[in-house]
Amino acid sequence: MEKYFKRKLIAETSQLCSGVNDNENQPSSKKNCFEVDLENLPFDPGFRPRITFYHPNVRDQVRMHYLQKGPCQPRNHKFPKSKYGDHEQSFQWSWFDKYPYWLEYSVENDVAYCLCCYLLKLDKVKQSGDDSFFLMGFIIGRDLKILNIILEREDYRIRLKGSISASRLPLRQGLPFRGHDESDDSMNWGNFLELLHYTIEQNEEYRLVALENAHGHDKLITPSIQKDIINAFAVETINKLISDLGDALFSILVDEARDGSNKEQMTIILRYVNKRGCVVECLLSIMHVTDTTALSLKMGIEILFSKYNLSISRLHGQGYDGASNLRGQFNGLNPLILNNNEYAFYVHYFAHQLQLALVAVAKKDTNIERLFLKVSCVINIVGWSPRRRDLLNEKQALKVKKAI
């Protein structure tokens, strides 16, 4: 079996070398097999062999040569027209300006090619796609629809990148996306659309395919698209947070409240010590719960932990306010979590404790109570009148000057 294997290997090597070496009369050798005449490689994509035709040791050299030379784009060629249905269509040289890095054209075959597909696609039967884009090409008249799909996909990516870039600033600064009036004659479209129009003024590539120049209604500016982009940012942010947490222990801070739409929302904050030894507190989720019972809140926490692959065994702290559904000794969220993890110690919010202490002290001491009463009266009388506020500032400035 060994001699048959060696014979097959020699035959394959000779076949590869026959297409690479210039001197076909000389017998193939290991040295010649690793050499290729880069200057005489066919430039027209219609004459190129598969990239897998070359020996694996020289394929990167061939790829580098074609990348440095760039795609075959004969701009001075008069492209012939082909009849497609009732219309005559042809390749457009303006497509070279629009897609200068990958689109190719074969003068010999009158077909278009993709340089990236030719250089990067492997010779595997199960790989998705066929050989049309890099070996046979796609005929302009017959397969113009395929080319248009590729061009539209590239335009879609450009528009999507613009919408994502316009979303970064409002998300970073916590600004609203939508404006009060987003009609065409509006003086202020809102932060998102205003940033898109600013991008159009600064980026010529984006201007050619965005907004009014977009294909059909595919502008990627609708509220649903904005929400999808925001959710994608949220997912990436949380994934980065979970990656930074790693296998470390953590605590959670939980509170619940009813929002403006009369829905019960539960806020969960993650608290942990990162690899640099710094305490990190960050918002993990604001999720809707059916009710505020301890069992519903615990179920919401378990769903969230399962979603982000967090284990309750790594939970070593839980912090709530004094509500009975959270810190209750028998029916609260605290004992329900302790039943699963006895090391998840409960700590009452320090800020909430301080607030309760201040309120209790103020109610017991009449002088403090009078002070807060006078302060509230001054705020009500002076705060709503700019003239009274300026007069108070002048009187206070005179007192400070006299005291100095």
Strand ranges for 107-167 from DSSP E: 111-114, 138-139
List the structure tokens of 400.
């400070």
Answer with the residue of higher pLDDT: 7 or 377.
Answer: 377
Q: What is the pLDDT of residue 297?
A: 83
Q: What is the pLDDT of residue 145?
A: 56
Q: What is the rounded average pLDDT of the residues 155-169?
A: 86
Q: What is the pLDDT of residue 15?
A: 44
Q: What is the rounded average pLDDT of the residues 320-328?
A: 66
Asked whether the beta carbons of 20 and 55 are under 8 A apart, the reply is yes
Asked whether the beta carbons of 317 and 252 are under 8 A apart, the reply is yes
Q: What is the rounded average pLDDT of the residues 240-255?
A: 85
DSSP 291: -
Q: How far lies 53's CA from each of 20, 50, 118, 211, in Å?
A: 9, 5, 12, 45
10-63, pLDDT tens digit by residue? 344 444 444 444 444 444 444 455 577 888 888 888 888 888 888 888 888 888
Asked whether the beta carbons of 162 and 192 are under 8 A apart, the reply is no
CA distance 339 to 345: 11
Q: What is the rounded average pLDDT of the residues 351-367?
A: 78
Statement: residue 236 has pLDDT above 80: yes
Strand ranges for 148-223 from DSSP E: none
182-224, pLDDT tens digit by residue? 777 778 888 888 888 888 888 877 777 777 777 667 777 888 8
CA distance 270 to 343: 17
CA distance 364 to 366: 7
CA distance 30 to 14: 9
**Opening angle at CA 393, ends 387 and 396, nearest 5:** 140
Decide: residue 124, CB within 10 A, 0-12 exposed, 13-18 middle, 19+ buried.
Answer: exposed
365-400, pLDDT tens digit by residue? 788 878 888 888 888 888 788 888 888 888 889 998
124-155, pLDDT tens digit by residue? 544 444 444 444 444 444 455 556 666 677 77
CA distance 4 to 9: 9
Asked whether the beta carbons of 59 and 123 are under 8 A apart, the reply is no
Q: How far lies 125's CA from each of 121, 129, 211, in Å?
A: 11, 9, 41
User: What is the pairing mode between strands 250-258 and 138-139?
Assistant: unpaired
Q: What is the pLDDT of residue 29?
A: 44
89-112, pLDDT tens digit by residue? 777 777 788 778 888 888 887 778
Residue 175, helix vs strand vs coil: coil
CA distance 65 to 51: 12
Statement: residue 7 has pLDDT above 60: no
DSSP 310: -
Q: What is the pLDDT of residue 49?
A: 86
Statement: residue 181 has pLDDT above 80: no
Asked whether the beta carbons of 134 and 107 are under 8 A apart, the reply is no
Statement: residue 244 has pLDDT above 80: yes
Statement: residue 342 has pLDDT above 70: yes
> Across all residues in the chain, what is the average pLDDT?
76
Q: What is the rounded average pLDDT of the residues 265-291?
A: 84
CA distance 344 to 313: 8
Which of 23-32, 336-345, 352-361 is predicted with the least confidence, judged by mean pLDDT? 23-32
